[in-house]
Amino acid sequence: MDTARVIVPPLVTAYAIFVVMVVRAWRGPKESPPRRPAPREIAWTVVGGYLVFLVIVAVFHVELAGQRGALRSAAAGGAFLLASASVVYAVLLWKLRRWRDARPREPRPDDP
């Protein structure tokens, strides 16, 4: 099998996704008030990211490159990274809230 036929389609796809992201970012964010996501939304984002990671490994390493053990390795390593990053995120979020609550608030002009 020709190497270019295996490498070029995923490379072009990744580049197209990158270009779409840049164009959308260039348009600027929509004007909406910031909101705090619910813990359930954060959990779904984490689980979804992990599953997308596994799909990428399955497609590129297992199917295209033929590395049969890559999915098992990625599942274990990815689970470790997911757990580690989640713990670090939770600790930093807790610290940020404590820091924000301990800081003296400046009165707003519309406060009574």
Q: Which tens digits make up the pLDDT trace of 28-54?
A: 777 777 777 888 898 999 999 999 999
pLDDT at 2 over 80: no
In angstroms, the CA 80 to CA 90 distance is 15
Please report which confidence band the pLDDT of residue 110 belongs to, taking 50, 70 and 90 as the band edges. Answer: low
* Residue ranges of domains in the chain: 3-28+39-102
Helices (H), 1-38: 3-26
Read off the pTM: 0.62
pLDDT at 97 over 90: no
The dihedral sign for the CA sequence 46, 52, 55, 60 = negative
pLDDT at 4 over 90: no
